[in-house]
Amino acid sequence: MSLKTLPSLLAALCSCGAGICGQAIAASPGTYPVRQIRFVVPFPPGGGNDIVGRIVAQHLQSALGQAIVVDNRGGAGGTLGTEIAAKSAPDGHTLLINNVSLAINVTLFSKLPYDTLKELTPVSLVGHQPSILLIHPGVKAKTVKELLALARAQSGGLIYGSGGPGSSSHLATERLRLAAGINLTHVPYKGLGPAMTDLMGGRVEFILTTASTALPLLKAGKVQALAVTTAKRFSLLPQVPTMIEAGVPDYEVSTWYAVLVPAKTPPPIIARLNGELTKMAGVAAVQQQFAAQGMDPAHSSPQQAFAHIQGEVERWGKVVKAAGLKPN
pLDDT (average), residues 177-202: 92
DSSP symbols for 11-49: HHHHHTT-TTHHHHHHH-GGG---S-EEEEESS-TTSHH
Write phi, then psi, for 125 (nearest 5 degrees): -70, 145
Residue 247 CA to residue 308 CA, distance in Å, equals 29
Question: Any idea which of 35-44, 60-69, 184-193 has the lowest mean pLDDT?
Answer: 184-193
* Interacting residues of 125 by C-beta distance below 8 A, sequence separation 6+: 256, 257, 258, 298, 299, 300, 304, 305, 308
DSSP symbols for 244-290: TTTT-TT---EEEEEEEEETT--HHHHHHHHHHHHHHTT-HHHHHHH
* pLDDT reported for residue 172: 93
Please say whether the beta carbons of 116 and 106 come within 8 A. yes
* pLDDT reported for residue 328: 58
Residue pLDDT, tens place only, 218-242: 999 999 999 999 999 998 999 999 9
Residue pLDDT, tens place only, 140-176: 999 999 999 999 998 888 999 998 877 888 999 999 9
Please say whether the beta carbons of 68 and 12 come within 8 A. no
Nearest to 89 by CA among 265, 273, 269, 271: 265
Please say whether the beta carbons of 292 and 129 come within 8 A. no
Buried b / exposed e along 96-118 (16+ C-beta atoms within 10 A): bbbbbbbbbbbbbbeebebebbe
Between helix 48-64 and helix 211-219 the angle, nearest 10°, is 110
Residue 151 CA to residue 79 CA, distance in Å, equals 31
Model-level pTM?
A: 0.79
Residue pLDDT, tens place only, 287-307: 999 998 888 899 999 999 999
* pLDDT reported for residue 47: 79
Residue 295 CA to residue 236 CA, distance in Å, equals 10
Residue 224 CA to residue 137 CA, distance in Å, equals 6
The residue with greater pLDDT, 73 or 19, is 73
Structural domains in the chain, CATH included, are: 30-129+254-323 (3.40.190.150), 130-228 (3.40.190.10)
